[in-house]
Structures are given as C-alpha cells and as structure tokens.
Amino acid sequence: MKGIKEYSIDIFGLKLGEHLFEYSIGDSFFLDFEFSPVTKGGLAVQIKLNKTERMITMTVNIQGEVELICDRSNDPFQYPLKVDQEVIFKFGEEDKELGDDVFQIQWDTEKLNVAQYLYEFVALAIPMKKLHPRYLEDETFEDEIIFTAEAEDDSSEEESVDPRWEALRQLKKDSEEK
C-alpha cells in the first residue's frame, strides 16, 4: 500500500475552480490490491477536479492496455481499456456514501485518495468473459450455431406427436361437435 500515497490529492489547499491531475498506472499499482483481476498493465489517467464551495466533481479518463488471461486457452493477451467516469464529493458533517457515484466527505478533509476509485473503474471495465482476440470470431459463430440448432429442435418436436395423444384429441373434438 506504499504506492497508494502518490494518488492522494490535497483538496484542502485547492482553490475554487478546475484542476487537472495526470497519473500513470503500471504493474506496481495492481500489486497493492489483493485479488486484483489485473496484474500487469500500462494506463494513462487524467483527473479533472472541479471544486466549488459545496462539492467537488471528479471526472476521470483512463486509457491504455491491461494484460488479461484468456478464459479458454489461459494465454495472456493485451486488452485495450477506455474508461470515462464521474464522481461527486459533497461536503457534509460525516463521511458516507450517498449513491453509486456520490459521496459525502467532511468539510475539513485535507486529502482525497483516488487510488481505490481508479482501481474500481479499471476492474469494472474488464469483461466477465475474457477471450483472446483470436477466439472472438469463433464465439459469435458458435452462438449462431446453437441458436439455429435450438430453433430446429423446437419445430421437430411439434411435428412428431405421440399417436395416443392424437387419438385423445380426436375424441375430444368429436365430443365437442355433438
């Protein structure tokens, strides 16, 4: 967690208005987080803070590549990442979460550590199913095959009806006509 301190922004001393901060995220950043889905990567981060009297709006732009492990072949591959997020920090009496991207911080908060937010933005941008680019075309092809196979199975089941049921339907039809 020693590298996390470099992602602290002194908000107490910031003047009102817009401020720009730039960071580079590398392999060492991900080592500070236990169970991180990413262990290697190179990302450029731009943070724009807009400080007003009652709140701070943080706009985050992350671009770069991270190394992921393919779920199918266990081969590593580079995954391009582009994240644009906004977080609002409102000043109040206590620290608490007001919504997904809205937080309340105390009036006398001196520093805002953005490392956890950056980590979460990167982690949420990673797909659930990590496929090497060479398998992406195969994946759509398999979905089409499965879909057409299911459609054909449904129609064949309707066509082949057990003769006993057909006899019962005929009896029901005859009794309704009388």
Is residue 154 domain-shared with residue 124, that is, in the same domain? Answer: no
Q: Over the stretch 23-34, which tens digit does the pLDDT of each residue have?
A: 999 998 988 888
Q: Considering only 12-16, 108-112, 114-118, 141-145, which range has the smallest mean pLDDT?
A: 141-145
Query: What is the model's pTM?
Result: 0.72
Which residue(s) pair with 22 in the sheet? 46
pLDDT score of 82: 96
CA–CA separation, 56 and 87 (whole Å): 8
CA–CA separation, 136 and 58 (whole Å): 35
Domain that holds residue 108: 2-131
Contact between residue 88 and residue 56 where contact means Cβ atoms under 8 Å apart: yes
Is residue 80 domain-shared with residue 28, that is, in the same domain? Answer: yes
pLDDT score of 22: 96
The continuous run of DSSP H or E covering 139 comes out as helix 136-159
Is residue 82 domain-shared with residue 147, that is, in the same domain? Answer: no
Q: Over the stretch 141-160, which tens digit does the pLDDT of each residue have?
A: 454 555 555 555 555 555 67
pLDDT greater than 70 at residue 17: yes
Count of the separate structural domains present in the chain: 2
pLDDT greater than 90 at residue 66: yes
